[in-house]
Amino acid sequence: MKLYNKDKLAEARESFLKSVPEWDKPVEWAAVMGSGLSDVFDDFKIIGSFPFENVARMPHSAVAGHRGEFMIAEYEGKRVLAQLGRSHLYEGWTPFEVAFSVALFGELGIKNLLLTNAAGGVLDTLEVGDVMVIYDQINLQSGSPLSGAPGSEKFQDMTEAYDKRLAVGLSKKFGLTQGVYAALRGPHYETPAEIRYLRTIGADAVGMSTVMEAIMGRFYGMRIAGMSLITNKASGLGGKKLDHSEVIEAGKIGRRKIAEGMKYLMGE
């Protein structure tokens, strides 16, 4: 499953619906939880959950902090389909495979998507534990999840990758900085010279995910909101070596902010 494939998505949709509990009530939002953020829904009412393995063709991650399951959660009578963990290009998956779950959400008719991630702060004012609202992105990962999509549909306009009204609303409601998220392939972290380059081209935070999912979400006409939890100062800015364990620890600090953002979005 290297390129966009409608048949594989149909197979995934069928197996998903066999696994999911109580799909009789509308689910207006889907949310992808990044590294260390699987506990965001702890104070939501949990309707049910099941592992990625239950869904045909669904890629899974072996990276720490990515639980690998779908969960249906409810807050004030409204439901969200949460994806706890994601796959990455650096694990050997293709752009389409990385964005496969978002395509599945589109096939299920979901029209709103929250993308979260753990990121390094490039902007000087972003500190560990801060949350940055993504208002645009820079794809430095090479490739597109839409390769192989039929006809002219694959030439997706990305002028407004992230919904401006949602970004402004999140920023004002919680006093959060809006910024540009840049994605590299990883799995290694960036060099100080690469961080200087990212600053030059307009990046405020950097990570290894999210952009392929956003492209796929726009392909399905979704409204997209993005939130980056700053888990470390980017290379050369924090005065210490980078380690994945600090990403997991920062997730414990920032998950409350992400949870409050999710609740706000579900009311929009």
The CATH number covering residue 236 comes to: 3.40.50.1580
| Number of domain units in the chain | 1
Alpha carbon 132 to its chain's center: 13
In this prediction, residue 152 has a pLDDT band, given cuts at 50, 70 and 90, of confident
State residue 40's pLDDT score: 84
Say which of 31, 61, 88, 205 is annotated catalytic.
88
Say which of 30, 208, 212, 216 is annotated catalytic.
208
Please tell me the pTM assigned to this model.
Answer: 0.92
* CB atoms closer than 10 angstroms to residue 154: 15
Q: Which of 40-49, 90-99, 248-257 has the highest average model confidence (pLDDT)? A: 90-99
Distance CA 179, CA 154 (A): 26
Element (H, E) at 69: strand 69-75
Average pLDDT over residues 50-68: 80
Say which of 118, 182, 203, 259 is annotated catalytic.
118
State residue 238's pLDDT score: 56
Q: Is 134 left (phi over 0), alpha (psi -120 to 50) or beta?
A: beta
Annotation says 142 is catalytic:
no
Say which of 11, 15, 197, 244 is annotated catalytic.
244
State residue 268's pLDDT score: 81
Annotation says 152 is catalytic:
no
Strands 69-75 and 131-139: unpaired
Q: Which of 13-27, 37-51, 71-85 has the highest average model confidence (pLDDT)? A: 71-85
- 152, 158, 161, 163 alpha-carbon torsion, rounded to 10°: -90
Residue 142 has φ and ψ, to the nearest 5°, of 75, 125
Q: Does 203 score more than 60 pLDDT?
A: yes
State residue 245's pLDDT score: 63
Annotation says 245 is catalytic:
no
Say which of 209, 212, 225, 266 is annotated catalytic.
209
Say which of 183, 232, 262, 266 is annotated catalytic.
232
Residue 168 amino acid letter: V
173: CB partners within 8 A, 6+ apart: 264
Residue 75 amino acid letter: Y
In this prediction, residue 68 has a pLDDT band, given cuts at 50, 70 and 90, of confident
Rg (CA), the chain: 17
For 107-128, what is each residue's pLDDT tens digit?
A: 999 999 999 998 999 999 998 8
State residue 8's pLDDT score: 93
Average pLDDT over residues 15-24: 81
Domain that holds residue 84: 6-266
* CB atoms closer than 10 angstroms to residue 81: 24
Residue bearing the bigger pLDDT, 234 or 65: 234
Residue 173 amino acid letter: K
| 1, part of any domain | no
| 90, part of any domain | yes
Quick check: 57 and 11 in contact, CB under 8 A?
A: yes
Say which of 66, 99, 101, 112 is annotated catalytic.
66
Q: Which two tokens stand for residue 98?
A: 């990385």
State residue 72's pLDDT score: 93
Annotation says 14 is catalytic:
no
- Three-state secondary-structure class, residue 195: helix
State residue 113's pLDDT score: 98
Average pLDDT over residues 178-200: 95
Q: Does 12 score more than 70 pLDDT?
A: yes
Annotation says 244 is catalytic:
yes
State residue 19's pLDDT score: 85
Annotation says 60 is catalytic:
no
Q: Which residue from 171, 174, 155, 153 is spatially nearest to 163, judged by alpha carbons?
A: 171
Q: Which two tokens stand for residue 209?
A: 């995910």
Residue bearing the bigger pLDDT, 238 or 50: 50
Say which of 4, 12, 33, 35 is annotated catalytic.
35
Say which of 91, 194, 246, 260 is annotated catalytic.
91
Average pLDDT over residues 169-185: 97
From residue 89, how far is each of 59, 124, 145, 161, 167 by CA, in Å?
A: 11, 28, 11, 20, 26
- Three-state secondary-structure class, residue 113: strand
Annotation says 232 is catalytic:
yes
Annotation says 171 is catalytic:
no
Gap between the terminal Cα atoms of the chain: 35
**In this predicted structure, which of 12-16, 18-22, 225-229, 233-237 has the lowest mean pLDDT?**
233-237
Residue 139 amino acid letter: N
